[in-house]
Amino acid sequence: MFTSVLIANRGEIACRIVRTAKRMGMRTIAVYSQADVNALHVRLADEAHPIGPAPAAESYLVIEKLIAAAKKSGAQCIHPGYGFLSENATFAEGCAAAGIVFVGPPPEAIRAMGLKDRAKALMQKAGVPVVPGYHGERQEPAFLKQKAYETGYPLLIKAVAGGGGKGMRRVDKHVEFDAALEAAKREAKSAFGDERVLLEKFIAAPRHIEMQIFADTHGNAIHLHERDCSLQRRHQKVIEEAPAPGMTAALREAMGTAAVAAAKAAGYAGAGTIEFIADGVGGLKAGGFWFMEMNTRLQVEHPVTEAITGLDLVEWQFRVAAGDKLPLAQDQIPLNGHAAEARIYAEDPERGFLPSTGTLVALELPRGEGIRVDTGVEAGAAVTPFYDPLIAKVIAHGKTREQALERLAGALDRTVALGPRSNVGFLAALVRAEEFRRGDFDTGFIGRNLAALGAVPQPLDKAAVALGAAKLHAREASRIASLVEPEPDQPPSPWAAADGYQLAGARTLALPVTADGEIAIAQVIYDSAGLAVTVDGVAVATGAIAVETADEVFVLHRGRQTKVAPRDFSALDAGQEAGGGVIRAPMHGKVLEILVEHGARVAKGQRLAIIEAMKMEHSLVAPLAGIVGEIAVAKNGQVVEGARIMVIEADETARE
């Protein structure tokens, strides 16, 4: 077995690997970018080495820097985690050339399964069913559009080299194909350095079922049961569970046999996942599943498989990489109870799940029977625009699916994540959704139920604002009181009181605040019953959590965050006062495209610019018809959340 490992990754997966490696007696070596100098994975490892600037392309994705760090530290092996270079055959070859073991599959297997078109051709040859579509080499837009017509709509455009929903677009009509193809190719190029795509028929009511497989270098290959990853948003997994609801023993055997055949056809070794799409109409059934792709690495959702099997998949990875045989045969793999995982992200469900950045002013993660939490951050850490905004994964295990989901919902209720916005409240609502509890769901479930899940703009939480205002008022009252010292041996003067003193009746102060960018007026009332704070008659929230910083108060109430600050009267926006529309960056990111010019007339809803954050594209649209005035940014420039992008000046003659 290895005595040392360099972990070529960051965040929660790096912390996860450190724990297993240390338990196995290995010296653990971390790497870090300038943005991760104080990161949790750096402190958990036995030693750590810097590898460059914050952007991943200049640090975590630079093969030469990683191998140099491994050589310098004397690491015997490199574990790539997931993401970054985990599915990069060139990286695996570079490790071998440097005499360092790559904890992953052979480069040939990565190449065979890393490109979706070649993988599907290989699967067809091995007798594994694949989704109808076009998986060939030709990439001319006109040719692909013809193939799309022949395949039929709706269909999916998917990046040949990618996964995780990046470079993927659903197309419902032939006239929408050109724009969708352009966007998919651009996003694929940005995320994977390869703009090639394939086409797949869109399956009605699809369920996303994947099989965890393991193979060794002695010709053995098995599966460790399935996971259901159908609860997705923009093709990104949100909730994963194992086993899949409605799965029969016969169908599990059929899927498992196909998955093992796929692994053997690829000459695979190590941990991998065979992803299938299943027709969910009428429930899961034999003959109703097709191969989508293979992930030649550990998956984010691997803890649910660990929960139902009692196995440590990272340990298995190390043992296979060291040349050992698989520890267990197929008929020895346990399947105990049910497990579900929720991914807590720094994102705003009420604003289209835009990534949210900033300092985690508070982070309290749940504990309890059957609960596991994997995280790579802690209170005081910064969520930056450079990497995936995952805060933590909460995994619940129980004897039954009902028990596991109840434990997961309760754990989410106990989670406190303040600073950047998070999806915790949305996740809790999702886990409690009646249809999901019944097993009546598919990959479109979240998209169809956004309003019911609270993932649409919500009115200001006035009870939370009142609590924040009360905290601000108490702090200011304490500050003023400290400045007013009574004369020695003299009773305090009522004229020195900071409580709205008057000779008769209830005393009321108006306290202007800013709450989530909106202006609100809190009423601070003093009467015979004491002090009370309300907003439009709504009293202070009970059962809420308030965390104060130097400038504002963060309130967590019923799973929603509200940020309350004293109103800054010097911050009025001249552009808004002039009747125009100030377009601001909704998140930190990079300006990919400016789609209009100064002086151009635009219609309400017209796309103005494209910003990329965390490898996903976000379009900025005109809030009103008008004329483009100031353009404050340039293509390829970096912007921070709230930065002015451009101004649309109202013009009644502009197109509606």
Element (H, E) at 341: strand 338-345
Structure tokens at 618: 């976000």
**DSSP readout, 398-451?**
ESSHHHHHHHHHHHHHT-EEESS--SHHHHHHHHH-HHHHHT---TTHHHHTTT
Distance (Å, whole) CA 604 – CA 654: 9
Residue 359 tokens read as 């300092």
Question: Residue 236 half-sphere exposure, CB side, CA atoms within 13 Å?
Answer: 15
Side-chain-side CA neighbours of 605 within 13 Å: the count stands at 2
- What token pair was written down for 393? 């994964």
> Which H helix or E strand runs over 95?
helix 89-97
| Nearby residues of 527 by Cβ (< 8 Å), 6 or more positions away | 506, 507
> Who's near 164: CB < 8 A, 6+ residues apart?
235, 236
- Which one of 233, 297, 343, 407 is the catalytic residue? 297
Neighbours of 394 (CB within 10 A): 27
Q: Which two tokens stand for residue 557?
A: 């109430």
**297 an active-site residue?**
yes
Tally Cβ neighbours within 10 Å of residue 414. Answer: 14
* Backbone Cα Rg of the chain: 27
Nearest to 177 by CA among 162, 157, 159, 195: 157
> How many C-beta atoms surround the C-beta of residue 166 within 10 A?
22
Name the DSSP class of 266. Answer: T
Look up residue 120 and give its two tokens: 């599907």
Residue 486: Cβ within 10 Å count: 10
The alpha helices in 98-215, defined as continuous H runs, are: 107-114, 116-125, 141-151, 177-192
Task: Read off the amino acid at residue 316.
Answer: W
Strands (E), 33-112: 47-50, 77-79, 101-102
The catalytic residue positions are 297
